[in-house]
Amino acid sequence: MHEFVESAVRRFPDRVALTDDSGSLTYRQMWDRSRRLATALLDQGVVPGDRVVALMNNRNEWVEIDNAVSMIGAVRGRLNSRDGAREYAWVLNDLTPKVVVTGPEFTTVVQGLVDSGQAPPARVIGLADSGDYEQLISTSAPFEPVAMSEETPYLVFHSSGTTGHYKGAIYQHRNWVATYRNILATIMGDMGPDCALLHVGPLSHQSGILTAPALYRGARSVMLGHFDPKLFFDVVEREQITHSILAPAIINALANHPDASNRDLSSLRCIYYSGSPIAPVVLRKAMEIFGPIFMQGYGSTEGGTIYNTVLYPDEHVEALKNHPDRLASCGRPSPFFDVRVAGEDGREVPRGEMGELRVRGDAVSIGYWNQPEATASAYVDGWFRMGDLAVRDEDDFITIVDRKNDMIISGGLNVYPREVEDVISSHPSVNEVVVIGVPDEKWGEAVKACVSLHSGESLTLEALQAHCKATGLANYKKPLSVDIVGEVPKTAVGKVFRRALREPYWEGQQRQVG
C-alpha cells in the first residue's frame, strides 16, 4: 500500500497533501513523518503481523499511520470515533494490538481500558499534549521500506454483525491496492492536482479510504475535525473544496440550512454519498444548492468497500426527469466487481425477482479475523454474501429492497439490534424488547424499540434513552422512539417475529430499508 502513496510523493513532492486544524503538510513532509513513525513503531516492539490501531477525530496523523504501518508489514486496525468505551474494548480485545495511537480526546479512555484490564496490554501513544507522538517522530530516523508479499495482511476493518459484536474483515495489500484502483477508475476520473477533497465523516469509514487515491491524483485532503454546517460552508469557500463524501442526513441538513443559498459553493464538483438513497424531494433541494454533482455508491466493509454499484450524477438528473423510482436504486454494478442477485442455490435469479446480493472481485476481503464460522457462512465459492435482498431491472439498475439480516443503517452508520436489545433488556421495567429500523426522513432509518413491560411498570422514551446513555451505548444507537406492546410477537416455534413489527412502518415504501 505504501508504494502506491510513494509514487504520488515522487510526482508531487512540494504540493500540499494534507490540511487539518493544526496546519498543512506537503507530500514530502507527510512522507518523511510517515517514515520516522515507522521507525518509532519498530522501536516500540512492533514486528510484522502485529496490529497497530488508531482512534482520533479527522486529522493529518491518520494518513501517517496508514503509511507507516504498511512500511513495516504490520496490520492496521481502526476504531470509530463515534463509538464508546464498550465498543473500543471489544475491538481491542479482538485485535490485541501492540500499539494504539489516540487523539487527545480519546487517550484517557483507551489508557483507562488498558490499565483496568478491560482491554489487553498495549502501548498507548497520544497525539498533541496527551502523549508523545511528536517526540517519537522527531527523535526517530526515517525508515527505509522493505519489500513484502502482496499477500501480506494490511488491514482488519471492523464492521458490525447480527450477533451484537463487530467482525473484522481482513484485507491483504493486494486487495487494498485493488480498492484504490477501483476508486480511481470508477469515481475519481475527474480528480487532479487542482482538486481538494473534504473529509467530513470519520476517517475510520469511507472518507478515509478516499485519501490515498486522492493523493495519487495530486489532490489535497482537508480534514474537518467535527461537523457543523457553517464550518462546512466556511471550509468549502476558503479551501476551494472540489469533492466531498457525505451521509444523506448531512446532505439534507446542509441543503436546508438557512446559510446555504448565501454561500459560494461553486468550487464543488462532486459529492459522493452512500448508506441510503436520497428522497427525490431532498435531492431536488440539494441540487438547487450544490448543482447536479451527486454520486451514490453501494458497498460493504467486507465487499471491497467503495463501490460495488454506482449511480452517477447524470443518472441522478435523468432519474429526476424521467424515472424518479430509479432514485431508490443504488445504481449499476462497477466494472471491477461481479455482482449477482442470487437465489438460495447461489445462482442468478431472473430480472425483476428478489434475491440476495453477492459480490466477487480482487478487492473483496479474504475473510473475518478470528471468526472461522462467520467466514465460512459469508464467503462462499469465491463470492461474498452481502446480506441484502435486491432486485435487478432490465437496465441493470439494482435496488435494495430488504436486509437479509436485521441490521439498521441510521445516518450511514451500522446499528445491530442485538446490542441495543441487550442494553434495553437490562432496564428493570422491561420484560421483552425487539429493536427495529423504521423510515426516517433525516436518518434514512431510525432505531425504534418495541417493549413489553413487567406488570405494573411504565417506561418513557426519555427514561429509556437515559438508561442507554448510562450503560455507555453510543449515542447514534439509542432508540429515537419506543412502542409499548402487550407482548412481543413470535412465530410458531417461539422465535421473535421481527418482520411483523417492521412491516406496518414500511408499508407503501419502495424500499424495506432506509
Residue scoring higher pLDDT (419 or 102): 102
Band of the pLDDT at 389, cuts 50, 70, 90?
confident
Q: How confident is the model at residue 282 (pLDDT cuts 50, 70, 90)?
A: confident
Q: In the prediction, which pLDDT does 513 show?
A: 57
Q: What's the predicted TM-score (pTM) here?
A: 0.84
* Other C-beta atoms lying within 10 Å of the C-beta of residue 63: 24
If you average pLDDT over residues 153-167, what whole number do you get? 76
Can you read off the three cell numbers belonging to residue 241?
Answer: 473544496
Mean pLDDT, residues 381-400: 94
CA distances 186 to 71, 244, 428, Å, are: 27, 16, 52
Task: Give the integer Cα–Cα distance in Å for 126 and 268.
Answer: 35
How many residues make up the chain in this entry? 514
Write down the pLDDT at residue 463. Answer: 96
Average pLDDT (131-149) is 93
DSSP track, 56-72 = -SS-THHHHHHHHHHHT
Domains of the chain: 1-148 (3.40.50.12780), 327-403 (2.30.38.10), 408-506 (3.30.300.30)
Can you give the pLDDT at residue 338? 97
Q: Is residue 234 scored above 90 in pLDDT?
A: yes
- Which three three-digit cell numbers place residue 157? 476493518
The CB density around residue 430, as the number of other CB atoms within 10 Å, is 19
Predicted local distance difference test score (pLDDT) of residue 493: 45
- Would you call 477 helix, strand, or coil by DSSP? helix
Which residue, 362, 359, 375, is CA-closest to 298? 359
pLDDT of residue 193: 98
Which amino acid, residue 125?
I
Q: Is the pLDDT of residue 51 over 60?
A: yes
Examine the pLDDT at 358 and tell me if it is beyond 80: yes
Question: Are 53 and 440 contacting, i.e. CB atoms less than 8 angstroms apart?
Answer: no
